[in-house]
Amino acid sequence: MKLKRKLNEIIFGTDTKAGRIFDIALIWLIIISIVSVMLESVEEINNKYFFILSPLEWLLTIIFSLEYFLRIFISPRPLKYIFSFFGLVDLFSVLPSYIALFFPGLQSLLIIRALRLVRIFRILKLSRYSDAGKLILSSLRASHAKITVFLLTIITISIVFGTIMYLLEGKESGFTSIPRGFYWAIVTMTTVGFGDIVPKSTLGQFLSAILMVLGYAVIAVPTGIVTIEMANQKNSKEEKCPHCGK
């Protein structure tokens, strides 16, 4: 129990000296791992430095695996950690390296490479050690209901406009179905504008212009919602004077 309490203080105790050292060391290991994965994707570098990158990756995988099992061991509620967001991120950051061992042979090299790329999930571990990352996550949780309503509104508008454009333009302009019109509405409203489907009629172009203007709300509204929640989260954490309340 004494060992478990000491490990808990180091791994979860960010306010202690040992906890800060552990967090900083882990951040650097995550960064090294991410850079290693990126370098492996460059064929020339991987072929030339494979004898360095491969052992380095396995060393990092073993370290992150030990960290994962230590967190389970010292957690007061292991199942809650295992199925939590960061628990799943920790698992997926090491699992592909072990899965790759069960796919030997030249024919499966592409599958192994695809599985190993999932190790980039380690970048998500960085947000655990950042106060700003925690603030953003808590703000997203607090505003999830508003964002859900906003997304449902956007989907409804896209379906309505997509259906109208399907009726107005038809197959001649590329609107072969309502789902195709829905795709065009999403692309137009998000201001991406691939140009693969373009309305030809005057009324269709007018509706397209309206949808493009509405597209700015797609950027502005959720940004405003999350920003307000971030301000609320930050203000709630500030200490107030017991005498004047400021």
At 106, the pLDDT band (50, 70, 90 cuts) reads: very low
Helices (H) and strands (E) in the chain, counts: 10, 0
85-113: string of b/e by CB count within 10 Å (b at 16+)?
A: eebebbeebbbbbeebeeeeeeeeeeebe
- Mean pLDDT check: name the lowest of 3-7, 10-14, 24-28, 106-110: 106-110
Measured distance CA(108)–CA(87) in Å, rounded: 29
Q: Which residues contact 41 (CB under 8 A, 6 or more apart)?
A: 117
pLDDT bucket at 122, cuts 50 / 70 / 90: low
Contact predicate 134/127, CB 8 Å: yes
pLDDT of amino acid 14: 59
pTM of the shown model = 0.60
CATH class of 144-237: mainly alpha
- Per residue in 44-62, pLDDT (tens digit) is 998 899 899 889 989 998 9
What residue type is assigned to position 229 of the chain? E
Under the banding of pLDDT at 50, 70 and 90, the label for residue 203 is very high
Distance CA 158, CA 153 (A): 9
205 closest CA partner among 163, 169, 167, 156: 169
Class of domain 2-128: mainly alpha
In this prediction, residue 163 carries a pLDDT of 93
Model confidence at 107, in pLDDT bands (50, 70, 90)?
A: very low
* Range in 41-50, 107-116, 171-180 the model is least confident about: 107-116
What pLDDT is attached to residue 116? 53
Mean pLDDT check: name the lowest of 58-67, 167-176, 233-242: 233-242
Other C-beta atoms within 10 Å of 68: how many? 19
What residue spans define the domains of the chain? 2-128, 144-237
pLDDT at 24 over 50: yes
Average pLDDT, rounded, for the chain: 80
CB < 8 Å & 24+ apart, contacts of 28-34: 29/60, 29/63, 29/64, 30/122, 30/123, 30/125, 30/126, 31/126, 32/56, 32/60, 33/57, 33/60, 33/64, 33/119, 33/122, 34/120, 34/122, 34/123
CA distances (Å), origin 113, targets 35, 37, 47, 189, 226 = 16, 10, 14, 36, 37
Least confident segment among 61-75, 121-135, 180-194: 121-135
pLDDT value of residue 151: 86
- Residues of the chain with pLDDT > 70: what percent? 82
